[in-house]
Amino acid sequence: MTFDRLHDARVRGATFDWLSTQVDVHGDVLPRAVLAEGFQLDGQRVPLLGPQGIFKPRIMDLPLSFTTAPRGPYDDGFGADDLLEYRYRGTDPDHRDNVGLRRVAERRLPLVYFHGVVPGKYLAAWPVFVVGDHPERLTFSVQVDDADHLGLNLEAPLAVHGQDTVFRRRYETRLVRRRLHQQTFRERVLAAYRSECSFCHFRHSELLDAAHIIADAHELGEPRVTNGIALCRFHHGAFDRGFLGVRPDYVIEVRPDLLEEEDGPTLVHSIQALHRETIRLPRNPSLRPAPERLEQRYAEFLRGSRAS
């Protein structure tokens, strides 16, 4: 069967346009149900992912996307060279899904990468390109590019990638890696706290943050829920600026000078009323804030209180 590059480019282009619209609607993290339903093109449905990691919709001859499931069976991850190492499906390099991704690489076609941050939610990155194939370790190497380099030009021959492409893709991949870290941390913390502010019980996730207890020195390391607290935007700001502290026994303290201040109902109900209250904790004890991290942050709070 002859590969129809024009048809393939049209589907990929429509996919990228549709994903941009979905990000505008849902934000960076997209629901699996939306991605699995996909969109309509020429009367045919184009889903973007399926049960397996490497996915080809019926309307196409070659894969359109690949997915890392949250807490999935494969050890996908980023290396020091700013490459995503994506595991083959199974252990057979000639499995049809692995062959399909290899054919995409040979034609230098762009794909979508879906990274599961928590069950049912995915961060999408596109365009991404397979830049290496390693049967000896059952992995593909993948890099992200920017939207101006989709690789869908049907008239021009396949370009030879120079140093500018290498540097650009390293930069773009690094940005996606940072986004994945931040969004995974946020989604896991909010899930642990049932999308509720630990201080005031506010429940609208659009205005909730995953606040770090201790600033993450290893910015791109595995996100740790035990170093986070779900807070509304107001209390996140108050916590970060030392208006409020949390003791290792999960009790909130208000900075002493603020307890004496008189400045209207917001101060009374949103700050002063929290003094000596216990924060709401995740039901799973293993996801609760690490006492040693709280102790370090509380010591910083005390030093700031004495200086105020």
Q: Encode pLDDT of 181-195 as tens digits.
A: 888 899 999 999 999
Please tell me the predicted confidence (pLDDT) of residue 295. 96
* Mean pLDDT of all residues belonging to the chain: 89
Please tell me the predicted confidence (pLDDT) of residue 298. 96
Domain extents for the chain?
5-188, 195-307
Please tell me the predicted confidence (pLDDT) of residue 220. 44
Across 24-33, 41-50, 146-155, 207-216, least confident range: 146-155
Q: Dump pLDDT digits (tens) for 100-139.
A: 999 999 999 999 999 999 899 999 999 999 999 999 999 9
Q: Which residues pair with 302 in a beta bridge?
A: none
Across 13-22, 59-68, 179-188, least confident range: 179-188
Please tell me the predicted confidence (pLDDT) of residue 69. 85
Measured CA to CA, the distance from residue 85 to residue 75 in angstroms comes to 9
Residue 219 has pLDDT above 60, yes or no: no
Neighbours of 254 (CB within 10 A): 21
HEC letters along 56-115? CCCCCCCCCEEEECCCCCCCCEECCCCCEEEECCCCCCCCHHHHHHHHHHHCCCCEEEEE
Two tokens, residue 31? 């629901």
Q: Which residues pair with 246 in a beta bridge?
A: 252
Amino acid at 187: E
Is domain 5-188 given the CATH code 2.30.30 in the classification? Answer: no
